[in-house]
Chain A
Amino acid sequence: MSFEPKLRAYTAPVFTVEVGSGERKMTLGGESVQPLCFFDKPDQPAPLIGVEVSDIGFETEGLPELAAFYAGADTLAARAVKAASLPGASFVCLHFEGADPAATNKSVEDCVAEAKEAVAACPLPVVIAGCKNIEKDTALFTALAEALTGENLLFLSAREEDYKAMGAAVALAYGHKLGAESAVDINLAKQLNVVLTQLGVASSSIVMNLGAAAAGYGFEYVASTLDRVRSAALEQQDGMLRMPVVTIVSAEAWSVKEALVSEDDMPEWGPREERGIQMEAVTAAACLASGSDAVILRHPVSVEKTAALIAALM
């Protein structure tokens, strides 16, 4: 008897979330197959790749390729334009690291001015990432959401501690999309979606930022959380877990020892840039295999190769 593969498509797809306005738009989510299983049903949407740029510029010691790529791009807007030019990039993520009170503590006004300039210049949809300081992020996101009304940006992210202020300002008052950030746990993720929805934020305005880890650093929790969230969405049609998932790979991958240590300190490990690229690329592939609808990456080479991987699977 000849082998006939059974196809496995689901009736209820992952929700879609539209980000961007005018010419530059993207749709996150919408698939009704298991991660990367495009063969199960025709016309499935591909996962997207976002390129991270920093308001203060990346530290590039030992990273000559990255430095060369952004050479001469001295403003956030210039870096965003550069990032958007990468083949395979679907959106640009403006990361306001400099707003962190523990770092340069850049003022909200300065961040807003830079963001407006960058959004105006960037030809791709824009995603905003904060500095992880709850108070500063709340003030920053509220101001950015107001200043960029109508741009339909995605803000990463609202957390348990600040979802009320973020939900009210970013999503309800100024009509942007909101990431719901939880710490690699399906129950926390669901709970945050529930309370955001109760606040009045539509599910079509919510994406999930389930947290991430670099390969080797507890990635089993990331993989299994993604697996379980996607199973809940597709198999159990759980409306509070059907939102698309965006994973910030870059910050995790580039902050582990393997990507940080200089070649001088670890000569046998080889060039730092090669290690960072591999850490970012491997982590991105593993996230996509487990169910991320979009990954945010930093290095042009990992963007290129991840795009090649997705293209090869489509």
Chain B
Amino acid sequence: MALKGLDIFKLTPKTNCKDCGNPTCMAFSMKVAQGAISADKCPHMSPEALAKLSEATEPPMKTIDLGGHKLGGETVLLRHEKTFVNRNVFSVKLRADMTDEEIDSVLEELKAVDYERINERMYAECVCVDCGEDKARAAEVIEKARSSGRVLIVKTRDAELAASAKAALILGADASNWEAMNEAAKAAGSVLGVSGESLAELHDTVEKLEAVGNKNLVLDLGTGDAFKRAVQIRRAALKDGDRSFGYPSVVDTAAIAPGDPVLQSELAALFVVRYGSVIIMDRMTYAAALPLFGLRQNIFTDPQKPMKVAPGIYPINGAGPDSPCAVTVDFALTYFVVSGELERSGMPVNLLITDAGGYSVLTSWAAGKFSANSIASFFAEQDIENKLTTRTLILPGKVAVLKGEVENKLPGWNVLVAPNEAVQLVKYMRELKI
């Protein structure tokens, strides 16, 4: 919990010496409480007091670096309250008792399902190896997983194996083995995943690890009541200031719903929306990836910054230089709706996405970001008249008012107006006579 000014005042020498640049110790304390200055500006504060203060001003949830991917660091329970900060990562799962063929097929699929969507790379970032009892086999599978180039996670309770794996994350510490696993994680430079029979036991184990100086942890939600744990842990961290639960989480949907890819995807969706940081699944097929990566991209969008697509020419249904153009804005939602309907029409068309600040058609028009001028300058920047031979341009129905101006700015172009709603585009395109 954040300290109040008066709590901080109690830790100061109360001498009003002004060495910190403030007139009184009370004034200094109030500024520290607001976060305006840091407590170490006071040269007379005892190290114990400073330690207490720095702990109190720490963020409620730590940000953990998992092989270059930031996890956690969240400040709100619901995204509209501010924003979610760090998107979750996905992992596929290899079990040491799988055959080489099975393992290769998971890894090949992992490599194949890797694409771009609205300026972001869509792929499963991690490979998790469930080590089992046979250490020699586990070591082989770990090497196979490492060769994928993805972030390595090992699931084992064997400290020796854990240390030698040099994985980004070791899943396997609990109340009985935390000391040995802690040593292994420290030796290998790995993040340590901690589990518990109950949340109380998990909390105790985390406190013990923190007491010996390990704060590079993630919390394993287990299989029995993972959703309940995810919610209670995140609430405790963000609402009740419980620092020992202020860590990212890891959930193994493959262990909760073994052999059931659709249920694993539903669980993954649940944990994308609510408090999963590392989400493990048996495999990452295109069928699962398309909705899950899209969902993740949506949920981790900052509500204050609309999602934008890059301006440019997007040929649809095999459009060539002689296919008509349809112009719209770079708001991602507009792009998806319009391109989807144009695709459904089956008619070749070049969709032109202009830079409109990421706003919808009417909003950007009202803000002057989508106008005859902006369309004309887009045509000049993209060199449309040389790249395309068509001279037909379709405007969104909602800005029909721009028709005359656009005709003036783009002489030689046949300017048409589409219907108001995207859903009417299919019919419109099919009936379009040029």
Contact = CB atoms under 8 A, between A and B. Distances in A.
B176 to A, nearest CB: 18
B79 A306 contact: no
Most buried by A among B202, B297, B336: B336
A161 interface: no
A302 B287 CA distance: 13
Given A217-B333, A275-B287, A285 B79 contact: no
Interface stretch (B23-31, B208-216, B258-266): B258-266
Interface size class of A (residues with CB under 8 A): 35 or more
A210 interface: no
Most buried by B among A8, A224, A228: A224
Contacts of A285: 265-267, 269-270, 273
A231 B78 contact: yes
Contact of B204 (A2, A37, A102, A274): A2
A307 B405 CA distance: 55
A268 B332 contact: no
Interface in B190-220: 199-200, 202-204
Contacts of B272: 286
Interface string B405-417: 0000000000000
Interface in B278-299: 285-288, 290-295, 297-299
Interface string A254-284: 0111101000000011110011011101111
B433 interface: no
Interface residues of B, number: 59
Contact of B267 (A216, A290, A301, A309): A309
B235 interface: yes
B419 to A, nearest CB: 11
Contacts, number: 169
B291 A283 contact: yes
Contacts of B303: 220, 224
B295 to A, nearest CB: 4
Contacts of A269: 286-287, 290
Interface string B110-134: 0010000100000000000000000
If over half of B's interface residues share one DSSP class (helix, strand or loop), that class is named, otherwise mixed; here it is helix
A275 B267 CA distance: 17
B225 A39 contact: yes
A53 B262 CA distance: 22
Most buried by A among B202, B260, B269: B269
A258 B240 CA distance: 41
Contact of A282 (B117, B202, B295): B295
Interface stretch (B66-74, B97-105, B177-185, B226-234): B226-234
Nearest to A276: B287
A214 interface: yes
Interface in A213-228: 214-221, 223-224, 227-228
For the complex of A and B, 3 pairs with smallest distance between CB atoms: A216-B294, A3-B203, A282-B291
10 contacts: A3-B204, A39-B231, A221-B333, A224-B303, A258-B290, A268-B112, A270-B285, A281-B262, A282-B265, A286-B295
